Amino acid sequence: MSFGRAIASTVLLIAIVAGCASLYFYRLDFAPPNIQIDEAIIAINAQSIASTGRDLRGELLPLYAQTAEHSWYQPLVIYLTAIALKFAPLSEWSVRVPAVVMSVLGVTLMFLVVLRATRSLFLGAAAAAIGRALSAYRGDHGRPPDYHYPIPFILGWLYCL
């Protein structure tokens, strides 16, 4: 890749990340207007882990967070939220930040995967914008937690492949 092309792809990636982050972070504490049940369950478990190192059932740094008799959450959503709560007070915004960061990371990796596969800046930007940022999946599930946390790992694997 030439120096000019590397600069162009870097500038385009920064523009995509900035645009996506501004869309996802816009009114983060107001949309949806009320915290959802999944967000509440994750928030109280993460707050407990952030403050005491134990979940609501008293287990020290559990691998999975059990929220009901037959309901478990993956650890990444709980621990990233706990990290966010170490730096910000418990609020709708601080509970939703990790999900937004994972969404922006997914858009970034989509651009990089398609750029690497096709060597086309246009296709990389189109894949990031259309395939990730503007799809119904992003609009519908961009903020609730848990659904899209695996996506950056899958895209990272594809990038390395």
pLDDT in tens, 39-91: 888 899 999 999 999 998 899 999 888 877 777 888 899 999 999 999 999 99
Which uninterrupted H or E stretch holds 67? strand 65-68
pLDDT in tens, 98-148: 988 888 898 999 999 999 999 999 999 999 888 766 654 444 454 556 677
Specify the pTM: 0.85
Return the half-sphere exposure (C-beta side, CA atoms, 13 A cut-off) of residue 16: 30
Please say whether the dihedral angle defined by the alpha carbons of residues 61, 67, 72 and 77, taken in this order, is positive or negative. Answer: negative
DSSP 54: B
